[in-house]
Amino acid sequence: MTRALDRLVREVRHCRRCVDAPDGAPLPHEPRPVLRVSATARLAVVGQAPGTRVHASGVPFSDPSGVRLRAWMGVGDAEFYDEQRVAILPMGFCFPGLGKTGGDLPPRRECAPLWRPRLFALLPQLELVLLVGLYAQRWHLGADCGATLGETVRDYRRLLARPGPPRFFPMPHPSWRNNAWLKRNPWFEADLLPELRREVAALI
């Protein structure tokens, strides 16, 4: 299993599908897939796609969003970046580029169907997957995903109770762009975060 996963990760790191055979316009820069994974990981963090800082560093969540995410989870850098315990598998492995308004473009459409089923099939120890943002929630929850991010996240208890493994825990993205949403939804900090921290602590 470990050797098969190592081979697959090497394939991912050398992937050029969004440049050489894109679904639409090609990626506007050289690919730099960013992921961290191990067959022993019991917890996975599934975000959107690397941003500009992560594209430059090659380290997932090495930006203010990552600082907030780790605070939400109740973990430090050493725990978060221990890939023997925590897998980090964004919906798109490469920075997708910037849109006209300056925000990041959505994850590339080629990435998830090409790699996700094969990767998750080689992660037998996964018990909990944090679905950070709507793209991750739509892919992994399917028909159980709500019409809006808020609807899905508010339903976290029911979604956690679905048969697993793994179980899925929906969350908003920790970007500053969601500050207004967080202010409108105080239950997130009061109710969801304590439950999230208990779940994470039990696994790592």
Instruction: Give the mean model confidence (pLDDT) for residues 73-85.
Output: 96
Q: Report the number of distinct structural domains present in the chain.
A: 1
Query: Do the beta carbons of residue 122 and residue 11 sit within 8 Å?
Result: no
Domain that holds residue 52: 2-203
Instruction: Give the whole-angstrom CA distance, residue 3 versus residue 200.
Output: 27
The CATH number of the domain holding residue 130 is 3.40.470.10
- How distant, in Å, are the alpha carbons of 5, 26, 119, 126, 129 from that of 43? 16, 32, 14, 6, 6
Q: Nearest to residue 194, comparing CAs of 148, 147, 164, 157?
A: 157
Q: Residue 121: helix, strand or coil by DSSP?
A: helix
Query: Would you tell me how many other CB atoms lie within 10 Å of the CB of residue 85?
Result: 17
* pLDDT attached to residue 165: 92
Instruction: Give the whole-angstrom CA distance, residue 25 versus residue 4.
Output: 32
pLDDT at 145 > cutoff 90: yes
* pLDDT attached to residue 1: 61
Percent residues over pLDDT 90 in the chain: 85
Per the prediction, the chain carries an average pLDDT of 94
3-class SS letters over 141-201: HHHHCCCCHHHHHHCHHHHHCCCCCCEEEEECCCCHHHHHHHHHCCHHHHHHHHHHHHHHH
